[in-house]
Amino acid sequence: MKTAIAYFRVSTQRQGALGLGISAQQAAVATFCREQGHTIIGEFVEVESGKNCERPVLRDALAQAKRQKAVLLIARLDRLARNVHFISGLMESDVEFRACDLPEANRLLLHVMAAVGEAEAKAISDRTIAALAAAKQRGTALGGTNPNSRNLDAAARAKGKQRLQKKAVDAYAHLMPIINSMRAEKKPMQAIADRLNEMGHRTRTGAQWSNVQILRILRRANVNEAT
């Protein structure tokens, strides 16, 4: 029986409605593991756009998979990225990874699927740009020129701040069991930061952990739980 590290990604907090939320991905991975005889020994969750190839949580997942000689499992190939170069880099790494929606896919097919996804993402982007340009020509106020996006009241600003805090909390959800366990042992913040750094974990910006950053995500987690 093979051991596996599960990697889940969502672009926004609303993706569950599209069938691409965390629960849908977890169900797909669980079914795959039952059928293929894999055992999940770790789960990593990332909230990030598919266009962004800077994935600190994915980097942590790969590092753990490499250390424990485990397979990296994803529910769908497009959960990694719609980028051929990004997929190629993963395939050239020392970590074996499999997409549950394409369990028998070979390297050539993975390249093709990534290329199709990349082309689709570019087409969507081009259509969006064209639509915005047409709206601007019609005199529609966009972005910062839209009165609705300026002079927000206190409630709207608070709601926006809560969304940002929740995104940060979700990005580090996979680290909270480690942090909470060490807090229960009365470990100082710097000791927790040192432990995360030793395990190969990094912040969303790719930096090493510090006591200040540990305190910051704990405060955000408390705020998020209270809302």
Q: Where does the pLDDT of residue 16 fall: very low under 50, low under 70, confident under 90, or very high at 90 and above?
A: very low
Specify if 12 maps to a domain. yes
9 and 89 share a domain? yes
Is the model's pLDDT at 192 over the cut of 90?
yes
Give dist(CA 22, CA 10) in Å, integer.
7
9 and 101 share a domain? yes
Strand (E) or helix (H) holding 15 = none
CATH of the domain at 37: 3.40.50.1390
Per-residue pLDDT, 34: 92
196 and 97 share a domain? no
| The overall pTM is greater than 0.85 | no
Strand (E) or helix (H) holding 74 = strand 71-74
100 and 172 share a domain? no
Ranking 96-100, 114-118, 124-128 by mean pLDDT, the lowest is 114-118
69 and 156 share a domain? no
Beta-carbon-side half-sphere exposure of residue 151 (alpha carbons within 13 Å):
4
Provide the percentage of residues in the chain whose pLDDT is more than 90: 16
Specify if 115 maps to a domain. no
Provide the percentage of residues in the chain whose pLDDT is more than 70: 68
Strand (E) or helix (H) holding 210 = none
Specify if 119 maps to a domain. no
Per-residue pLDDT, 105: 66
Kindly report, residue by residue over 34-55, the tens digit of the pLDDT: 998 999 999 888 876 655 566 7
Kindly report, residue by residue over 72-111, the tens digit of the pLDDT: 998 887 666 556 666 666 767 778 888 888 777 666 666 6
Specify if 126 maps to a domain. no
How many domains does the chain fold into?
A: 2
94 and 159 share a domain? no
7 and 104 share a domain? yes
- The domain boundary, picked from 60, 91, 109, lies at 109
Contact between 222 and 169 (Cβ < 8 Å): no
Specify if 214 maps to a domain. yes
99 and 198 share a domain? no
Q: How far is CA 47 from the centre of its chain?
A: 4
Specify if 32 maps to a domain. yes
Specify if 17 maps to a domain. yes
Q: Where does the pLDDT of residue 19 fall: very low under 50, low under 70, confident under 90, or very high at 90 and above?
A: very low
Is the model's pLDDT at 143 over the cut of 50?
yes
90 and 163 share a domain? no
Tell me the two tokens of residue 132. Answer: 């915005």
86 and 155 share a domain? no
Mean pLDDT, range 163-190, rounded to an integer: 84
94 and 152 share a domain? no
Q: Which domain holds residue 44?
A: 2-109
218 and 162 share a domain? yes
Beta-carbon-side half-sphere exposure of residue 35 (alpha carbons within 13 Å):
10
Specify if 182 maps to a domain. yes
